[in-house]
C-alpha cells in the first residue's frame, strides 16, 4: 500500500465530503474534493431548504455555499473542484451518462491513487452520484474505489445494510478496508470541527438536533466488482 495516497473525494453536495470524510481529508493534505451539485437553477427560485439555511433565493444560496466550501476545504488543505450540475431540489437532475463523463474528466485531471465515493444512501442526489461512480469504477478497474457512509443518512435505521444488500445483488462486494482506519487524533478532530463550522448556512438548516449527529465516526467500504452469472443478471 502506498505511504502517501493521492485522494479524490466525490461529494454530492457542498458539505458531504467534510461531513463524511473530514478526518480522512485532514490526514491527507492535498486531497481533491469534487462536488457535483453546485449550480443554481436556470431560473431563480426559493426552496424550503434554502430558506431554512437563511437565504432569500437559490442564487444567493449557491453563491454563498460555494464560498463556504472553499473556506472549509482550505482549513483542511484540500483542493475544491465544483461541477456545475443542479441538485434535485432545483428540479433539474442530470442523467448518469453526463455525470460519468464529467467525473471521468475529473479523475483524469486529478490522477488519484484512490477515489472516495458516497455509498449512496437515501437521498436521490447521493444515489445518482453513487451510480455514476460505480459506472466509472467499471471503466477504470485499476483505481481503487472506496465508498464512505453518507452522513447524516447513515444514522437512519437499516439504511446502510439495505444499501449493501442492494449492491451485492448488483454484483458489487463491499469489504471494510483495514488500511483506511481513520486517525482520530485530537488535531484532526479539531480540523474537522473547524471545517464543519465553516458550513454556517447548512448548520443553520440542520438545527440543534440535526447538528448533534453530524460529527460521528467515519466508516468506509472497499468496493469491487464480482463477476458471476447471477450478478450479471442482477446488474
pLDDT at res. 50: 92
Spans of the chain below 70 pLDDT: 1-3, 177-181, 183, 227-235
pLDDT at 233: 45
Return the CATH superfamily for domain 7-234: LmbE-like (3.40.50.10320)
* pTM for this predicted structure: 0.91
Helices (runs of H) and strands (runs of E) counted in the chain:
9, 7
Distance of CA 26 to the CA centre of its chain: 15
- What angle do the packed helices 16-27 and 186-197 form, to 10 degrees? 150
Cα→Cα distances 66→34, 41, 101, Å = 12, 14, 22
- The dihedral built from the CA positions of residue 195, 197, 198 and 201, taken in this order, carries a sign that is positive
Round the CA-based radius of gyration of the chain to a whole number and report it: 17
Give the pLDDT confidence score for residue 235 in this predicted structure.
42
How do the domains of the chain map onto residue ranges? 7-234
Q: Give me the pLDDT at residue 139, please.
A: 87
Model confidence pLDDT, tens digit, residues 30-49:
999 999 999 999 899 999 99
Positions of E strands within 86-202: 114-118, 145-148, 172-175
| Peptide bond before residue 152 is cis, with ω within 30 degrees of 0 | yes
Cell of 181: 482506519
Amino acid at each position: 500500500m502506498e505511504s502517501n495516497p493521492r485522494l479524490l473525494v466525490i461529494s454530492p453536495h457542498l458539505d458531504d465530503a467534510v461531513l463524511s470524510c473530514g478526518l480522512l481529508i485532514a490526514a491527507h493534505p492535498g486531497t481533491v474534493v469534487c462536488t457535483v451539485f453546485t449550480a443554481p437553477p436556470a431560473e431563480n427560485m426559493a426552496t424550503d431548504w434554502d430558506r431554512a439555511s437563511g437565504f432569500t433565493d437559490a442564487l444567493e444560496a449557491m453563491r454563498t455555499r460555494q464560498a463556504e466550501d472553499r473556506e472549509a476545504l482550505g482549513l483542511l488543505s484540500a483542493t475544491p473542484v465544483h461541477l456545475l450540475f443542479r441538485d434535485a431540489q432545483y428540479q433539474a437532475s442530470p442523467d448518469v451518462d453526463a455525470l460519468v463523463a464529467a467525473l471521468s474528466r475529473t479523475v483524469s485531471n486529478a490522477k488519484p491513487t484512490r477515489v472516495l465515493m458516497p455509498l449512496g444512501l437515501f437521498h436521490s442526489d447521493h444515489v445518482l452520484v453513487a451510480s455514476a461512480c460505480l459506472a466509472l469504477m467499471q471503466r477504470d478497474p485499476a483505481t481503487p474505489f472506496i465508498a464512505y457512509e453518507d452522513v447524516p443518512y447513515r444514522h437512519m435505521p437499516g439504511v446502510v445494510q439495505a444499501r449493501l444488500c442492494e449492491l451485492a445483488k448488483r454484483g458489487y462486494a463491499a469489504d471494510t478496508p483495514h488500511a483506511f482506519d481513520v486517525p482520530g487524533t485530537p488535531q484532526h478532530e479539531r480540523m474537522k470541527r473547524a471545517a464543519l463550522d465553516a458550513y454556517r448556512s447548512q448548520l443553520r438548516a440542520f438545527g440543534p438536533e440535526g447538528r448533534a449527529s453530524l460529527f460521528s465516526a467515519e466508516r468506509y467500504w472497499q468496493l469491487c466488482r464480482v463477476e458471476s452469472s447471477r450478478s450479471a443478471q442482477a446488474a
